[in-house]
Amino acid sequence: MKILVIIPTYNEVQSIPAVIAGVLSLPFDLHLLVVDDNSPDGTSALVKEINSERVHVLDREVKSGLGAAYRAGFQWGLTEPTYTHFVTMDGDGSHRWEDLGRLIERANKVDVVMGTRWMPGGAIENWPKYRELISRIGTSYARWALKMPLNDLTGGFRVYSVHLLRGIKIEAITSDGYCFQIEMIRAVHAAGGTFAQVPITFVERAEGKSKMSRKIVAEALIKVTRWALETRLRNNADKVHYVK
């Protein structure tokens, strides 16, 4: 296994050094790609100072959202034929590198391993109740609307098989905010992918500001509702849209 850990960043200069050091300390063949949306705090420059052939930076000209950053990261990684898996991971320390090893250990058996908060063994630390409520309701609604019995559709800590991703139209996944996580699972499901869920502890960021906004919540609600209608009216819609 040769794994590319894709980390989107915007103003994560306080958190990203510890995240990178933690990931590189794990006993796997891991490379990192930091996809930076022109952070004014110097995140990109700081990462470039790290003296490691396993750390790469993809600079983007404008801040255009989580989904756009991950699409760019996937497309960058797909040009390298030796990667077998991609990891998606936050750069603010919310996703613990201590949990990453357990996700990777399951990755040879399925197409996607999902780090999951809402299952036995999963946990949230330092989140206000309203954030937990939004996340639980969002996942429950997406599960019901899209008929996908997975416990954490909005979570972003995952390991994807590159073999599977090469069969998906990455450019067709157009969500910009955290809805990108739901749409990725929708695309994987359409491609016949298999899933594993691994409990993780999600830790609220200690530094910087959350990127969550009303616009991001609204995008998810509107898109999930539309996808639910499309799925019920046209059973093959997802496969036609996402699968090469």
Number of H helices, E strands in the chain: 9, 9
* pLDDT single digits (tens) 170-180: 999 999 878 89
Confidence class for position 210, pLDDT limits 50, 70, 90: low
Question: Which pLDDT score is estimated for 213?
Answer: 61
Which amino acid is it at 181? Q
Task: Look at residue 41 and tell me whether its pLDDT is greater than 60.
Answer: yes
More confident position, 220 or 27: 27
Contacts 24+ apart (CB under 8 A), 50-57: 50/17, 50/20, 52/24, 54/24, 54/30, 55/20, 55/24, 55/31, 56/31, 56/32, 57/33
> What local confidence, expressed as pLDDT, does residue 185 receive?
94
Instruction: Tally the domains of the chain.
Output: 1
- Domain region containing 100: 3-242
Can you tell me whether residue 140 is helix, strand or coil? helix
pLDDT in tens, 142-161: 889 888 999 999 899 999 99
Sign of CA dihedral 79, 13, 88, 23: positive
Q: How would residue 52 be classed by pLDDT, with cut points 50, 70 and 90? A: very high
Per-residue model confidence as pLDDT tens digits over 112-141: 999 999 999 999 998 788 878 888 888 888
User: What CATH number is attached to the domain comprising 84?
Assistant: 3.90.550.10
pLDDT tens-digit readout, 227-237: 888 877 777 77
DSSP alpha helices (H): ranges in 83-128? 97-105
At residue 231, the pLDDT reads 77
Note the pLDDT of residue 97. 93
